Amino acid sequence: MTHIRTLTVVGLPEQVANVIRNHRAAGTLIAMTVPRPVSATDPRVRVGIRLAQPLPSVQVDSIGQYIADRHRTRNHTRRVALVVALTAAAVAVIAAGAWIVAQVVAFITAHAALIVGAIVLAAIAAGLLITATTSGKRHCPGC
């Protein structure tokens, strides 16, 4: 089985001719374009060539085992990618949670006096509401 590749070769005319000669001798040259100058002041030329390159052959004892090995490798690669993605997501969630905790701690330490004052005022207000709505007596007549 062969693979067709299209390449552009740039170089001095002798170099390009050598590349073409080698591929023609090897039997891999399929087609080529007319040599064109790279620019008016540059002595190099540019040639497009199409090569037939044989694909490397794989020798296996069992085609079933070969397919199973390829499938196993592919599944292993997918599994590794999934583990990496899940680990990265977990690290991102943990980092976001740590950042939020740090912001809350910084807010509490910066405003500790106001927070304690608000809690004390709320306790006083709750105590006043309880005493204002009750008669001051115990909850049952026998106590």
Instruction: Quote the mean pLDDT of the chain.
Output: 86
Q: Say how far apart CA 61 and CA 94 lie, in whole Å.
A: 49
3-state secondary structure (DSSP) of residue 64? helix
Render pLDDT for 41-78 as a digit per residue (tens, 0 to 9).
999 999 999 999 877 666 666 667 766 666 666 667 78
Q: In 3D, which of 10, 44, 33 has the Cα closest to residue 19?
A: 10
Q: State residue 59's pLDDT score.
A: 65
Model-level pTM greater than 0.85? no
Sketch the domain layout of the chain as residue ranges. Answer: 2-54
pLDDT at 117 over 90: yes
In the numeric block, which tokens belong to residue 98?
Answer: 């740590």
